[in-house]
Structure 1
Amino acid sequence: MAERWAIVTGAAGGIGSAVCRQLAAQGLGVLMLDMQEAPLAAAAERVRAGGGRAETMVADATGSASPEEAVARVAQLGRLDALVNLAGGSGPRPVQRIEELDDELWEHVVALNLTSAFRFCRAVVPAMRAQGYGRLVNTSSTAARGRKGPVTTQGARLAYATAKAALLGFTAQLAKDEAAHGITVNAVMPALILAEQGSRIRERFEALPAEARQAMLRDFPTGRAGEAEEVAAVIGFLCSEAASYVSGVALPVDGAFL
């Protein structure tokens, strides 16, 4: 039997690193893709320290050649069973008014969150279809339903919400298109997930005034933000054989926020 592998984009981030450890614990090797070389190497070492198999690929998820390069890399290692599209973000600066959102920033956020997921799915589906098995997980957000109030931990909120909402339609349609071939396609919708110290969202959250942080947490019935491992556990299930009859869902991981 060929060794089973997963591709994880955005693997150096807090959620990405946790997802890679989760998948490795389930017996999958992980090809970890990210632009940040040093954090990516450190995340891979954590996977290996836990007894897992990890390879790294320093690449921009928005690059048109990156998906095919990743698929070719896995083909040298074993069988590609799963893809987790975690690469994303809301851009480098907060924007609330639509007239302040220029074309360049809009296109960057859409490419990072939506187009990258499309390209990676397009690259992996033929091999999964041929083997009659595959697990695709896209990362949307509770922001797909919109957020009220000032921009807090998000940047170009309108572009981000648009891309994350579009991912839900993409997921639903691709799930129907590939269901007959043993491929499941699902989306997770995290809310505020802080991850470890040094993660981008945690830094943005902790930079807010205390009253702004308290106001954000009051919106959560649980009274707290989520942990990266809580998202990783859900993604691990969706990538497992046990999730064979779960496809086309948009699953909130948000402590009853929605």
Structure 2
Amino acid sequence: MDRFTDRIAVVTGAAQGIGAATALRLAIEGAAVAVLDRNTPEDTLEQIDRAGGTARGYVCDVTDRDSVQSVFDRIATDLGDPHILVNNAGITRDDLFFRLAEDDWNAVLSVNLTGVYHCTQVAQKYMVAQRYGKIVSLSSRSALGNRGQANYAAAKAGIQGLTATLALELGPYNINVNAVAPGYIATAMTAATADRVGMTPEDHQQSVAERTPLGRVGQPEEVAAVIAFLASDEASYVSGQTLYVNGGAR
């Protein structure tokens, strides 16, 4: 498929996990991809190059508005004005609420929610001007509540509200705004969660799989496929939605 030929896509938090899988998927399908992360995303760029795709890497701190603006200016010069934005950058700082440190609260909200505000507000200027855009942000099943993740749950619930509001405001400019809410996906982030609760990643995944109707945990590529659909013209009449990708878990 070449759904993204002549499209410029920006993916944040793309050095690993869902972000890396999404950048690769978009590149394979024809997009020129700006791969953003707080560290140089060399592995992702190598994967895209081996697959015959086009990508450039950029170091960006999504919590710093000046950094975001500077990177988007460079992307517009290097690749062209962005058509697609995938807000994937995220961190966890898990703890039970009664002992959750304010620094950990602020860090998670800053990256997972304020970072989306920064990137989207900058990107939408290009999209409004060209009367075309696709914005997909990563929420989480944790938005419904998850023990030990009050900060992360609050940020990911905020993504859903922001998505619904931006769909209203940006829809008149032919910009689709959606969110994807993964359940348990086998990534470095969920491996860290396993460590927090004193389990190996393998045992933790098995425990989750036993409670999941499909009987397994998800893979980054499966979330990337859903993001790619929402970023494509096949989803041209889908906006303001949050799609859960969680193997049927309730």
Give the TM-score taking structure 1 as reference length.
Answer: 0.88
Aligned to 2:33: 30
Shift of 1:126: 1.3
Instruction: Name the residue aligned to 2:82.
Output: 80
Residue of structure 2 in register with 1:69 after alignment: 70
Report the counterpart of residue 190 of structure 1 in structure 2.
182
The alpha carbon displacement at 1:103 in A equals 1.5
Mapped to 2, the partners of 1:53 and 1:184 lie a distance apart of 24
Alpha-carbon shift at residue 3 of structure 1 (Å):
4.3
Counterpart of 1:20?
A: 23
Match of 1:53 in 2: 54
1:41 aligned partner, one-letter code: E
Matches within 5 A, 1:148-227: 148=147, 151=148, 157-195=149-187, 199-202=188-191, 204-205=193-194, 208=199, 213-227=205-219
**SS of the residue aligned with 1:216?**
helix
Structure 1: distance between partners of 2:62 and 2:170 = 23
Change in CA separation of 1:36 and 1:125 when aligned onto 2, cut-off 3 Å: same
Which amino acid in 2 is paired with 1:138?
Answer: S
Unaligned runs of 5+ in 1: 152-156
Residue deviations 1:108-164, cap 9 Å, x none?
A: 00011000001100001111011010000000000000125xx4xxxxx00000010
Q: Is the 8 A contact 1:7 1:70 kept in 2?
A: no
Give the distance between the partners of 2:156 and 2:83, measured in 1 at CA. Answer: 24
Contact 1:5–1:80 (8 Å) recurs in 2:
yes
In the alignment, is residue 6 of structure 1 matched against residue 9 of structure 2? yes
CA contact (8 A) 1:89 1:113 kept: yes
Given that 2:60 and 2:71 are in contact with CA atoms closer than 8 Å, whether structure 1 keeps it comes out as no
Matched, 1:104 2:95: no
8 Å contact from structure 2 (residues 205, 217) kept in 1 = no
Deviations 1:214-253 (Å, cap 9, x if unpaired)?
4322221111110110000000011111111000000001
For 2:70 and 2:128, how far apart are their aligned partners in 1?
19
1:79 alignment partner AA? D
How many residue pairs get matched? 242
SS of corresponding position for 2:95: coil
Query: Which residue is 2:233 aligned to?
Result: 241
Partner of 2:248: 256
CA distance in 2, matches of 1:200, 1:174: 28
Alignment of 1:132 with 2:131, yes or no, is yes
Q: Could you report, residue by residue, the CA deviation over 1:63-101 in whole angstroms, capped at 9, with x for unpaired residues?
A: 22122122212211223100000001212xx311x2211
Distance 1:203 1:146 in 2: 18
The question of whether the paired residues in 1 share the 8 Å contact of 2:8 and 2:34 is answered with: yes
User: Which secondary structure state, in structure 2, belongs to the residue aligned with residue 80 of structure 1?
Assistant: coil
- Provide Cα deviations, 1:165-211, integer angstroms capped at 9, x if missing partner: 0110000000111111110000000011104xxx3423543761576
* Kept after mapping to 2: 8 A contact 1:3/1:79: no
